[in-house]
């Protein structure tokens, strides 16, 4: 019986049975936590009028992306990396590859937009209108879809020889040339990680210097301020901590996958298929964990969200909103 299971596992998966089980359990944990947290965010924003401001539209957009990531992209990505045979056809091969990339682009650019919004609000006392926020979000989606179009065009189903008399179909990328692939993957890394990380770090640095300058403006500054001004300063600092937490989670969780992609492009010959798929699956799991962590950050640092979460879950009287 054990031999039959082992033979089936070897023929079906790139990994051992124990590795497959560990990956499935890990992915399911992130999926469940991510769905619970982000659906809670969506419900809270939808039901609480006080949380429907233009600024929280970014968070709503991010949560929608995280729900799509957890419910669709993560299961398909794990199946694609684990299974030796792709059985879902060409349309699903292209659609899932493009959808995952669209979702990642939208999430990343939304985090950048949140940082820009907070920077303009704190440093320049400027806030976008609801219409401008909607326009910004539409622009983010258009850019993400445009950048992901090559994946829909250049993914295909290829028949590969697995063993002497065994042939399987796999969903693979088939770029017109190696140079084209290198240009595209470099552009993806710039737009999806390096540029956002740089912009977020720069804006956070500017906000920190601005708040520090206000704090040191004159001795006893905070004690002499009007109550509203002190509250605004505390709120700005709380927002800064929240932004820093989101930025750190983004940078740290996506770093392993980014480094893996760079290594695979520069020296792909060092990887065996099964080893690369396993490292990719683990790196992707770490990256996708940000989808489950973000709602926790909102609930911890934002008192309005925290109270709304407790009320929705029936753990609060709901007097405060």
How wide is the angle at C-alpha 6 spanned by C-alphas 4 and 11, nearest 5°? 95
Is residue 318 included in any domain, yes or no? no
Q: CATH number of the domain at 55, please.
A: 1.20.1070.10
Determine the structural domain holding residue 168 and report its residue range.
2-312
Kindly report, residue by residue over 180-230, the tens digit of the pLDDT.
888 888 888 898 889 998 998 899 888 888 877 776 655 555 555 555 566
Is residue 320 included in any domain, yes or no? no
How far are the Cα atoms of 87, 133, 318 from residue 48, in angstroms, in the given order? 43, 19, 11
pLDDT at 258: 86
Kindly report, residue by residue over 243-286, the tens digit of the pLDDT.
788 878 888 999 998 888 878 776 666 666 667 888 889 999 99
The torsion of the CA quartet 84, 88, 90, 93, rounded to 10 degrees, works out to -70
Q: Quote the DSSP letter at residue 287.
A: H
pTM, rounded to two decimals:
0.84
- How many residues in total does the chain contain? 321
Residues of the chain with pLDDT under 70: 1-11, 161-166, 215-233, 235-236, 266-274, 316-321
Is residue 304 included in any domain, yes or no? yes
Is residue 20 included in any domain, yes or no? yes
Is residue 321 included in any domain, yes or no? no
Count structural domains, the chain.
1
Is residue 126 included in any domain, yes or no? yes
b/e 117-154 (16+ beta carbons within 10 angstroms → b)? bbbebbeeeeebeeeebeebbeebbeebbebbebbbeb
CB 265, CB 33: distance < 8 Å: no
């Amino acid at each position: 019986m054990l031999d039959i299971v082992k033979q089936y596992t070897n023929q079906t998966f790139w990994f051992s049975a124990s590795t497959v089980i560990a990956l499935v359990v890990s992915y399911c944990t992130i999926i469940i936590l991510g769905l619970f947290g982000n659906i809670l965010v969506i419900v809270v924003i939808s039901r609480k009028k006080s949380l429907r401001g233009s600024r929280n539209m970014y968070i709503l957009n991010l949560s929608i992306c995280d729900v799509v990531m957890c419910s669709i992209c993560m299961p398909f990505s794990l199946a694609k990396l684990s299974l030796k045979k792709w059985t879902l056809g060409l349309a699903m091969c292209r659609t899932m590859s493009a959808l995952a990339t669209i979702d990642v682009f939208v999430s990343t650019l939304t985090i950048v937009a949140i940082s820009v919004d907070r920077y303009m609000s704190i440093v320049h006392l400027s806030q976008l209108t609801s219409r401008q926020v909607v326009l910004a979000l539409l622009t983010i989606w258009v850019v993400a879809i445009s950048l992901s179009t090559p994946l829909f065009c250049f993914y295909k189903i290829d028949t590969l020889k697995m063993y002497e008399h065994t042939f399987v179909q796999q969903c693979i990328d088939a770029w017109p040339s190696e140079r084209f692939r290198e240009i595209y993957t470099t552009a993806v890394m710039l737009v999806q990680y390096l540029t956002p990380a740089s912009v977020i770090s720069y804006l956070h640095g500017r906000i920190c210097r601005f708040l520090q300058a206000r704090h040191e403006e004159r001795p006893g500054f905070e004690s002499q301020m009007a109550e509203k001004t002190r509250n605004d300063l505390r709120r700005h600092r709380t927002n800064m901590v929240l932004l820093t937490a989101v930025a750190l989670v983004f940078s740290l969780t996506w770093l392993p996958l980014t480094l893996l992609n760079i290594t695979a492009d520069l020296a792909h010959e060092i990887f065996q298929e099964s080893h690369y798929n396993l490292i990719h699956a683990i790196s992707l799991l770490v990256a996708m964990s940000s989808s489950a962590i973000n709602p926790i950050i909102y609930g911890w640092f934002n008192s309005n969200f925290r109270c709304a979460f407790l009320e929705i879950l029936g753990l609060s009287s709901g007097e405060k909103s």
